[in-house]
Structure 1
């Protein structure tokens, strides 16, 4: 493993602003393109913030870094940064290698919702950090939260829709990023589809069928989840890799 230590010197008055910048722009873009955040720390006087990132090797870092710099989200972050010239005073980075494996990394548990309205249309969102595709709303499960509660919360946060969550339809393991996503069907209860700035740039109910899914959902592993949810069969399971996409296993019992 290769580790990158990134440090920022800041004015303590900019601490909350810098944290907002990190969580809104830097963190989602890094995770989307394959970096792993080991941890993030601040000193007692709040004048220095340090983050430690993990990569497979130098080639992996260079691949991730190039993808980030070419992304739309990176450009948005740069534009935001230009409006705050005092966001941080300076920054530095260096690289280190691990001397051994002293811990195991748990999987990230996420959920997603196949939410239909009374007309049978499906709720889709376009995320700020993944703007080249539509997808079903969803996100990470919070500590102490049930899966169904997590789906309902994420749907509401990303779209403004209150939904009744039903049965699970699929389990999807991203071996590359360590994300395990559970997909549930659900029904619209109330609310109008509205994007949430900072998370989604579009949210709408769409008339989907087996012939037009690819017109909306351009990432194959996201499209598969929609196809599975459309069918009323048994729960599906998939494991796959990304960058590039490669299906490892699929079972639909």
Structure 2
């Protein structure tokens, strides 16, 4: 049995808005939107991986808040886990540095205005459900 590899996604929140990142690569994903993040490296915890990935991909200093309940299958052996996160005080504004060509802060009524990657849709739904129930 192949060991599963966790990919962490950030539901990065600011003033009730969710950050979406548009993929620039690979070609089959380019132009679609996702929660920023990436693979957990060996010996790294998912929360540390998320902070590192946000620094590498967006140039920000962030902190995780809480896990979004659930886990979503990607192509084997990958699974997606999502944490809500927020920018640390004094962090730079997010910029698309790596794997993305655009970012958008989406208010709750704008979340479905972008073409999310299929595998991110259930994670975004779960994030919104958590926000609607008052979780931060």
Please classify the TM superposition score into its range, dividing by the shorter chain length.
0.7 to 0.9
**Unaligned 5+ runs, structure 1:** 1-103, 234-253
CA RMSD of aligned residues (A): 1.9
Q: Map of 1:76-225 to 2, 5 A cutoff?
A: 104-117=1-14, 119-129=15-25, 130-169=29-68, 170-174=70-74, 176-189=75-88, 190-197=91-98, 199-204=99-104, 206-209=105-108, 211-225=109-123
Aligned pair count reads 125
Contact between 2:13 and 2:85, CA under 8 Å: does it hold in 1?
yes
- Whichever structure has more strand as a proportion of its residues is 1
1:105 CA displacement: 2.6
Q: Per the alignment, in what secondary structure is the counterpart of residue 212 of structure 1? A: helix
1:106 CA displacement: 2.1
C-alpha separation in 2, matches of 1:207 and 1:229: 13
1:177 CA displacement: 2.8
CA deviations on 1:194-246 (whole Å, 9 max, x unpaired) are: 1114x222234x1232x53332133333122112112228xxxxxxxxxxxxx
CA deviations on 1:18-69 (whole Å, 9 max, x unpaired) are: xxxxxxxxxxxxxxxxxxxxxxxxxxxxxxxxxxxxxxxxxxxxxxxxxxxx
Q: Which has the higher contact order (CA 8 A, sep 6+)?
A: 2
**Unaligned 5+ runs, structure 2:** 132-136
Task: Give every structure 1 segment of 4 or more consecutive aligned residues whose post-TM-superposition deviation is greater than 6 Å.
Answer: none
Contact between 2:32 and 2:117, CA under 8 Å: does it hold in 1?
yes
1:107 CA displacement: 1.7
> TM-score, length-normalised on structure 1?
0.45
1:188 CA displacement: 1.4
Q: Per the alignment, in what secondary structure is the counterpart of residue 231 of structure 1? A: helix
- The structure with more radius of gyration: 1
> TM-score, length-normalised on structure 2?
0.80
Contact between 1:159 and 1:203, CA under 8 Å: does it hold in 2?
no
